[in-house]
């Protein structure tokens, strides 16, 4: 027998929106429910074991809240619905009362969090919920920097940070959680040191790993909230799907140059990322492999909003960005909030789900990062091989498919600039008798460029620069007489 749980009560019943209970009467269903989920008992019943006045119970379309209706046998086709009768009858926090009450604040914590305690919406109960919270931050980069620091300063009890990368010099402009001494250190190690200086009393878990379909559910399991501070489409969809399957809300954000976006997905039956964007953009239409660049304060602004949304969800206060998206243009100071509707046809959270597990989904292929099996493998040149051919004077055509802001930072000598979207119509500019080498930042978009020209019918020899421009930085070209 199916028992449907109102969104406002799900935190007390294992975050389930529906459970299977043995057939019988309503009394046996409630007994099963409170035995399986002890937290639910104190929410549904008072100290005298009477059903609380803000809860109503329905079987099918019939109101069976009164106890004299509890012993009427239910048919297997009747569905039970447990529903609060009034708004606000249950706590909106993602941290239930049992966990909140298990926390205590010592004298040092009362002093440290005094400014929170003075706010009537937070006070002692809210600070205890913050202390009880277990939060994952995906990415210790530009967005992760303010998020991690503000969550630590607020006293979030456990923060797990997941990132596989090391700190690079170019990161320091926007990733203020790291310093010059941290260059070439794992980002999670640097973040841990910073958090220790902010608040040594919280738990910090450093996960120096790449999220993938095999490990993401295990890494996320047991946490209350995920904050998506990633910087690519593959990770965003991976995080969204895992959280929807695990029923964990996500505070999402993305930045590009001067623009930032923030939303909340997978919360209380609300929309997920796929409801908004069922699929990521086709590769080459927008910058997906290269970092898009951002003005230094932008990730601080957007990441601070993420942290603010996270704390509101933890405490259970205010108006959330669930079902909405905040869009901010920091260049022209335009801010707007747009609605995000749940899609009943969403393959992940809609009525007829087709995405049932993370493992079954090929994210590399979905995001256009994987070469289809039927295509001819793309030949590549190492930076050393390309340098040798250039220094020998051998005829070569070099096509740069990077974004304008990338080329402004560092140019490639004698390269022809052709965006991927223009390759097919401009292929007559290429000489099939001369080998053509394609370059991008990391060597992925250049593979896409080659496959695009193949599909358009170009028959000349084409090569991908392995590792892209990033791998070419330490190469000296003799005729240039300078480092690239």
The secondary structure of 49-85 as a DSSP string is SPBPTTEEEEETTEE--SGGGTTSBPPTT--EEEEES
Cα–Cα distance measured from residue 77 to residue 23, given in angstroms and rounded to the nearest whole number: 10
Q: What is the CATH number of the domain that holds 430?
A: 3.40.250.10
pTM over 0.85: no
Residues 361 and 385 in one domain: no
Question: Which of 84, 102, 118 is where one domain is finished?
Answer: 84
pLDDT of residue 390: 87
Total domains present in the chain? 3
Residue 97 lies in a domain: no
Phi and psi at residue 330, to the nearest 5°: -75, -15
Q: Which domain holds residue 440?
A: 380-483
Residues 61 and 165 in one domain: no
Residue 374 lies in a domain: no
Residue 451 lies in a domain: yes
Percent residues over pLDDT 90 in the chain: 45
pLDDT of residue 62: 76
Residues 350 and 392 in one domain: no
- Determine whether 440 is an active site residue: yes
DSSP string for residues in 417-435: E--GGGTTTTGGGS-TTS-
Residue 464 lies in a domain: yes
| Summary mean pLDDT of the chain | 85
Residue 282 lies in a domain: yes
- Determine whether 272 is an active site residue: no
Q: Catalytic residue among 138, 243, 346, 440, which?
A: 440
Q: How confident is the model at residue 318 (pLDDT cuts 50, 70, 90)?
A: very high
Q: Catalytic residue among 272, 275, 289, 349, which?
A: 289
Residues 257 and 406 in one domain: no
Residue 162 lies in a domain: yes
Which has more pLDDT, 343 or 10?
343
For residues 305 and 253, is the Cβ–Cβ distance under 8 A? yes
CA distances for 484 relative to 123, 234, 302, 470, 481, angstroms: 56, 30, 33, 10, 9
Residues 315 and 193 in one domain: yes
pLDDT of residue 317: 94
Q: What is the CATH number of the domain that holds 69?
A: 3.10.20.30
């Amino acid at each position: 027998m199916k028992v449907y749980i109102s969104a406002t009560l799900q935190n007390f019943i294992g975050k389930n929106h529906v459970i299977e209970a043995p057939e019988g009467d309503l009394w046996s269903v409630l007994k099963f429910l409170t035995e399986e989920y002890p937290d639910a008992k104190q929410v549904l019943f008072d100290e005298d074991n009477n059903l609380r006045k803000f809860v109503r119970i329905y079987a099918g379309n019939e109101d069976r809240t009164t106890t004299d209706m509890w012993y009427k046998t239910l048919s297997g086709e009747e569905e039970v619905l447990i529903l609060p009768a009034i708004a606000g009858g249950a706590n909106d926090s993602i941290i239930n009362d049992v966990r909140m009450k298990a926390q205590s604040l010592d004298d040092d914590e009362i002093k440290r969090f005094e400014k929170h305690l003075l706010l009537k919406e937070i006070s002692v109960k809210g600070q205890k919920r913050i202390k009880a919270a277990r939060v994952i931050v995906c990415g210790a980069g530009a967005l992760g920097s303010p998020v991690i620091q503000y969550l630590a300063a607020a006293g979030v009890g456990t923060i797990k940070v997941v990132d596989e990368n090391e700190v690079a010099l170019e990161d320091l402009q926007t990733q203020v959680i790291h310093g010059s001494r941290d260059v070439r250190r794992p980002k999670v190690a640097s973040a841990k040191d910073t958090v220790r200086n902010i608040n040594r009393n919280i738990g910090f878990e450093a996960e120096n790993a790449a999220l993938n379909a095999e490990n993401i559910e295990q890494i996320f399991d047991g946490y209350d909230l995920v904050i998506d501070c990633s910087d690519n489409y593959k990770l965003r969809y991976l995080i969204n799907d895992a959280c929807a399957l695990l029923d964990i809300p996500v505070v999402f954000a993305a930045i590009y140059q001067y623009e930032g976006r923030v939303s909340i997905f997978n919360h209380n039956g609300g929309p997920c990322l796929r409801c908004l964007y069922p699929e990521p953009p086709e590769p080459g239409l927008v910058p997906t492999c290269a970092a898009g660049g951002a003005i230094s304060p932008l990730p601080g602004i957007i990441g601070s909003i993420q942290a603010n949304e996270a704390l509101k969800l933890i405490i259970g206060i205010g108006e959330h960005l669930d079902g909405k998206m905040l869009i901010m243009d920091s260049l022209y100071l335009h801010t707007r909030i747009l609605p995000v509707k749940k899609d009943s046809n969403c393959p992940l959270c809609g009525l007829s789900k087709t995405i049932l597990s993370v493992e079954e989904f090929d994210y590399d292929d979905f995001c256009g990062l994987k070469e289809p099996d039927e295509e001819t493998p793309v030949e590549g040149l190492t930076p050393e091989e390309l340098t040798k051919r250039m220094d020998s004077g051998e005829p070569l055509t070099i096509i740069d498919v990077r974004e304008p802001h990338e080329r402004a930072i560092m140019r490639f000598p004698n390269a022809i600039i052709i965006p991927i979207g223009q390759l097919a119509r401009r292929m007559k500019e290429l000489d099939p008798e001369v080998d053509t080498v394609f370059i991008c930042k990391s060597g992925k978009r250049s593979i896409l460029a080659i496959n695009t020209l193949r599909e358009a019918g170009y028959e000349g020899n084409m090569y991908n620069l392995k590792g892209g421009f990033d791998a070419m930085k330490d190469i000296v070209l003799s005729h240039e007489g300078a480092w690239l």
